[in-house]
Amino acid sequence: MASKRTIEIVKATAPVLQEHGEAITKVFYTLLFEKHPELRDVFNMTHQQKGSQQKVLANAIFQYAVHIDKLEMMGPAVESIAQKHTSLSISKEAYPIVGENLLLAIKEGLGAAATDEIIDAWAEAYGDLAAIFVSREEEIYTEREQYRGGFRGTKAFVVAQKVVESSVITSFYLKRADGTPVPQFLPGQYVALTVSVPGTTHQHTRNYSMSDSSDRDYLRISVKRETGYPEGVVSNYLHDEIHEGDVLELGMPSGEFVWQTTENPSVFISGGIGVTPLLSMYKEAVAKSTKPIVFIQCALNSDVCAFADEIEALTNHRVQAAKVYSLPLSEDVLGEHYDFKGYLTEDVLESLGVAAMSDFYFCGPTPFMANTLAVLEAYGVAESQINYEFFGPQEELELV
Ligand SMILES: Cc1cc2nc3c(=O)[nH]c(=O)nc-3n(C[C@H](O)[C@H](O)[C@H](O)COP(=O)(O)OP(=O)(O)OC[C@H]3O[C@@H](n4cnc5c(N)ncnc54)[C@H](O)[C@@H]3O)c2cc1C
Ligand code: HEM
């Protein structure tokens, strides 16, 4: 626990940090990558270029400064960051490196106001926060080693099967290269995959959610080809260059966006590639829950929509599925090939008989997430029943 004086100083300087937060974290990352270029392998450099990672780190530091005297309130945030860190096999040795460069950046950000007392207070505060992460992350690493197929660090996986699911989504069925069982995971969790892409200067690490049940003898990930400009580095490499028999490096499954058994019905709402963690959860829910289940799949049209048959195959008197297309093709017939045109609305939920008292899980592109959150709030769903995951740094969802 930080000293009373440290708490006072950190809280007093928090507003300045919030104001300059993104600039400070930008300086921090510049310093970090200059001195430790090897860390480019583990950080997603696209998030750096877009500035989204700077935003979430600045926000985390500010939240910490505000809550320094009641750190128990940081619990959920710490857990989600620890899950992300452990997916990436971040080691305790990296904390002093990050701390040193963060302090240099804070010093620069505070300018003339950065007295020795302030910098020392932040050094103590960082040390305390780092200790919380190191301890939780060590616990997670140790727990995971005990899992069936568990390990620490990364292992080689061979692509046992590659399946095209739609014009933009391809699945990779992965098995341990040494023949040992694949690691246990909770439906909804993701792995970190590291690849060397020819023509680029460092390795690239990306998270991919498991898209199939947890009781298979493979892990299935399903990757959307990012065709924007510039083209997505890893997704295009996987689609074009990785074939059956090739070997990929993976960390242990991580994440806390997982399906929970409760007394409520479960509703899964996916946008585009956000279908992956939800499909895994849906399969688990169908197998284990006795409550109603609804899967609402939102996509542009039948050309890009993946897994509709897998979802449909599990429907019965208790489990229903619906498709919402925002840009149907001329051959996509409403009522035959898809159920609703446009975006998710309260009317869609109402016509499917969705109870507001359900547990909702959603995932997809950020605008889809913001719309879904707004729709659920308008539908009267309690915050405690809303669960979602970002396929990138965890931004605030601004309501549309
Ligand atoms: C928890 C989690 C689970 C995930 N699960 C899945 C999953 O199941 N399936 C899946 O397909 N993806 C998933 N993702 C996303 C995945 O990790 C990658 O982000 C995705 O595959 C894109 O990586 P890439 O290397 O192909 O693209 P990148 O090269 O990282 O580019 C991503 C996008 O940013 C754009 N871009 C690149 N550079 C810039 C720049 N300088 N300025 C502006 N825009 C730029 C690109 O055009 C592209 O559209 C998940 C992410 C997380 C965090
Ligand atoms: C107390 C110190 C730290 C804090 C407060 C912190 C905070 C964060 C936060 C808020 C995120 C974003 C999580 C998300 O959006 O899902 C994150 C991600 C990450 N952190 Fe940390 N972190 C700390 C230490 C470290 C260390 C020591 C490393 C090791 C080099 C590290 C490496 C990463 C990486 C690689 C990511 C993912 C980045 C990306 O996706 O671009 N962090 N961290």
More reliable by pLDDT, 218 or 400: 218
Query: pLDDT at position 399, please?
Result: 45
Please indicate whether residue 58, judged by its CB atom, sits closer than 6 Å to ligand 2: no
The mean per-residue pLDDT over the stretch 217-221 comes to 98
Q: Residue 95 catalytic?
A: yes
Q: How much of the chain exceeds pLDDT 90, in percent?
A: 82
Distance CA(339)–CA(277), nearest Å, equals: 22
Tens-place pLDDT, residues 117-129: 999 999 999 999 9
From atom 8 of ligand 2, which residue's Cα is the shortest distance away? 57
Query: pLDDT at position 396, please?
Result: 66
More reliable by pLDDT, 59 or 311: 311
Tens-place pLDDT, residues 230-259: 999 999 999 999 999 999 999 999 999 999
From atom 38 of ligand 1, which residue's Cα is the shortest distance away? 46
**Ligand 2 centroid distance, CA of 272 (Å):** 26
From atom 35 of ligand 2, which residue's Cα is the shortest distance away? 43
pLDDT tier for residue 397 given thresholds of 50, 70 and 90: low
Q: Which two tokens stand for residue 324?
A: 């919402």
Alpha helix segments (H runs only) across 147-274? 233-241
Q: Residue 338 catalytic?
A: no
55-70 exposure pattern, b = at least 16 Cβ within 10 A, e = fewer: bbbbbbbbebbbebee
**Ligand 1 centroid distance, CA of 271 (Å):** 15
Please indicate whether residue 56, judged by its CB atom, sits closer than 6 Å to ligand 2: yes
Q: How much of the chain exceeds pLDDT 70, in percent?
A: 99
pLDDT tier for residue 75 given thresholds of 50, 70 and 90: confident
Tens-place pLDDT, residues 167-214: 999 999 999 999 999 999 999 999 999 999 999 989 999 999 999 999
Distance CA(100)–CA(373), nearest Å, equals: 39
Please indicate whether residue 65, judged by its CB atom, sits closer than 6 Å to ligand 1: no
The fold adopted by the segment(s) 4-146 is: Globin-like (1.10.490)
Please indicate whether residue 256, judged by its CB atom, sits closer than 6 Å to ligand 1: no
**Ligand 2 centroid distance, CA of 161 (Å):** 33
> Domain 266-389 class?
alpha beta
183 by Cβ neighbours in 10 Å (0-12 / 13-18 / 19+) ranks as buried
Superfamily of domain 155-250: Translation factors (2.40.30.10)
List 95, 190, 208, 218, catalytic entry? 95
Q: Contact at 8 Å (CB) between 226 and 232?
A: yes
Say what angle helices 116-146 and 75-87 make with each other, to 10 degrees.
60
Query: pLDDT at position 160, please?
Result: 98
Please indicate whether residue 210, judged by its CB atom, sits closer than 6 Å to ligand 1: no
**Ligand 1 centroid distance, CA of 208 (Å):** 10
Please indicate whether residue 82, judged by its CB atom, sits closer than 6 Å to ligand 2: no
Please indicate whether residue 169, judged by its CB atom, sits closer than 6 Å to ligand 1: no
The mean per-residue pLDDT over the stretch 20-28 comes to 90
Tens-place pLDDT, residues 334-387: 999 999 999 999 999 999 999 999 999 999 999 999 999 999 999 999 999 999
Show me where the domains of the chain are located: 4-146, 155-250, 266-389
Closest CA to 367 of 389, 342, 397: 397
List 126, 137, 218, 388, catalytic entry? 137
